[in-house]
Structure 1
Amino acid sequence: MESPARTLSSSLAEHVEAVCKHYLSNGRRCGNYWIVGDVNNNAGRSLYVRLKGPLSGKGARGKWTDGATDQHGDLLDLIREREGLTSFRDTLDEARRFLVAPRETTTESRGRNSGECDTIALARKIWAASQPIIGTKAEAYLRSRKITADLSHAPLRYHPALIYRESRDGLSRRLPALVAAVTDNNDEITGIHRTFFDPARNVKANVESPRRSLGAIRGNGVRFGPIDEFAIIGEGIETVLSLKSAFPN
């Protein structure tokens, strides 16, 4: 027999967009995701909830991740966090209350910018799935470029097996990659830059385009520190990190 929690989670997933509109009203639909600032319903684009997919299992609708905090879960977890509930029973009761409450029937539709919203959400998903750079192949690559700057707080992560797809024949494979977060003036992630590596050596992969970007890049950037009276702008990650190595302060 299926547990009450699993049954409620599936029922909530059937009405995932209504759940988002009720508990995360300051967010908005972007393609196949609901985007909002955090579980406290603050405005922003850090947290994304999947609106499409099966009711359970891999890629299930209702699964959510906060790219800024790495929090994640299903809609029951979301309701618990949003309402500040401390007991499992109270969470189930709140879910039942929502499911029996009358609500408007909504027609799911895509906005004009749904394509860009989809890529932003995917970029945040990749960022959340990547690991800290220290001690990884990505750090080894940068050190091989004579970069000595402290990377512990840099907006850089490492993914050991990121999908790379050739544009000419559409064939894909997984390669290790350096992942850099692209942020806007509010420090919200709008995209990522990816540098793909050779699996056997600490060099860029011998592929058509070893550097690729994803998301909303124009007007934003990979930021290696606060902007005060002036800022140094460079064309590439290695260029800026080389300057930080030469002038750490």
Structure 2
Amino acid sequence: MKAADLATRLGLRAEAVCRYYLSSGRRSGKYWIVGDARNTPGRSMFVRLFGPQIGKGAAGKWADAATGEHGDLLDVIRESTGLADFRDVGREARRFLNLTESEAVPSPDIEIDPIPTGSPEASRRLFNMARPIFGTLAETYLRQRAVTVLHGASALRFHPHCYYRPEDGGSRQTLPAMIAAVTDLHGRQTGAHRTWLSNDGGDKAPIVTPRRAMGDLLGHAVRFGTAGTVMAAGEGIETVLSLRCVLPDMPMAAALSAAHLAAILFPLSLRRLYIIRDNDRAGANVCHHLADRAHRAGIEPIVLSPGLADFNDDLRHFGIQAVRELVGEQVIRRDRIRYLHGAA
């Protein structure tokens, strides 16, 4: 299918396209009004929701009064998702339209390149389709869990309609989700982690498995900051982010499970590793195993233990000052001066 035909198909569902990719805007009569094609809040861009399929005034055509830019809905998909390659834009448009492979005939304009479900490439596509968390339900979710330090959290994004399929083979549905990029020591994305959220962002979605990972995870992690001689590593994203609230400048990594924390790879520059413990049997076992690995690699391991099940429980039940005091007793003096005293 050629690009022009794909744009026409999108135009037939112009309002649905706008609600999905330009969610910061709103409908006003025959138009969708938003700040720009990158989904910025505002009123300078107008998208036609109705009109002929092709030609002047066609549905899906848009113009930005502030910049003079104009285009069709393929341009909207490209700008709002940040996809640079037009082949990726075409694939994303087909995904939105739910076209089958038989309906989408390959052409020189847009190639079809099937991607294995759950592969590292699929995880990169998912992350690229998501948006920064600020002002989204993902930010609401984290703040509901008392996580207030979100600078340097570019590894986290939000997808308003992330596919979820029950493990019992039930019908697929779409739910809002926090998307986390899993990267290797060189910053290359190898996987992704999804946390499906309730429709108000107040908690995880009421489904059987609200958290799932995809891609190549072994040895890798969701990273916050670039590790130097010191870093901290833990299991869950919320647990690691809770510790960042009192040590906001210390590089940290969330390995996503006890097994993956035990196998996390060490940066060559690392000299001291803070192991963020979960208070359960698996947490105790992984601390012992990871500390042994660190010792053998010439790295000093120090375990940080919460008062309750994990540091997010501590943060929500006791407050940030209590967590700061608890962590301050366990961090060595030079790191307490470097990292803890700057915590807000």
SS at 1:223's partner residue?
Answer: strand
Aligned letter for 1:202?
A: G
TM-score by length of 1: 0.54
User: Match for residue 219 of structure 1?
Assistant: 219
TM-score by length of 2: 0.40
Tell me how far apart the structure 1 counterparts of residues 137 and 146 of structure 2 sit (CA, whole Å): 15
Pick the structure with greater CA Rg: 2
User: Match for residue 144 of structure 1?
Assistant: 144
Tell me how far apart the structure 2 counterparts of residues 166 and 150 of structure 1 sit (CA, whole Å): 31
Of 49, 61, 72, 2:85 maps to 72
- C-alpha offsets along residues 183-239 of structure 1, whole Å, 9 cap, x if unaligned? 011101111000001124421011111000010011110000111112211110001
Structure 1 portions without partners, runs of 5+: 7-64, 76-94, 96-113
Aligned letter for 1:122?
A: A
Tell me whether 1:208 sits opposite 2:221 in the alignment. Answer: no
Aligned-pair identity in percent equals 37
Tell me how far apart the structure 2 counterparts of residues 206 and 151 of structure 1 sit (CA, whole Å): 28
Structure 1 residue 115 displacement after superposition:
5.6
Note the 1:1-249 alignment, pairs <5 A.
Answer: 70-74=83-87, 119-151=119-151, 153-249=153-249
Tell me how far apart the structure 2 counterparts of residues 150 and 205 of structure 1 sit (CA, whole Å): 22
Aligned letter for 1:141?
A: Y
Structure 2 portions without partners, runs of 5+: 5-77, 89-107, 109-114, 250-344
Tell me how far apart the structure 1 counterparts of residues 174 and 161 of structure 2 sit (CA, whole Å): 5
- C-alpha offsets along residues 16-70 of structure 1, whole Å, 9 cap, x if unaligned? xxxxxxxxxxxxxxxxxxxxxxxxxxxxxxxxxxxxxxxxxxxxxxxxx9xxx74
Decide which moves more: 137-146 or 226-235.
226-235
User: Match for residue 102 of structure 1?
Assistant: none
Tell me how far apart the structure 2 counterparts of residues 168 and 205 of structure 1 sit (CA, whole Å): 17
The count of aligned residue pairs is 152
RMSD: 3.2
- C-alpha offsets along residues 74-112 of structure 1, whole Å, 9 cap, x if unaligned? 49xxxxxxxxxxxxxxxxxxx9xxxxxxxxxxxxxxxxx
Tell me how far apart the structure 2 counterparts of residues 201 and 231 of structure 1 sit (CA, whole Å): 30
SS at 2:244's partner residue?
Answer: helix
Tell me how far apart the structure 1 counterparts of residues 201 and 124 of structure 2 sit (CA, whole Å): 27
Tell me how far apart the structure 2 counterparts of residues 141 and 123 of structure 1 sit (CA, whole Å): 22
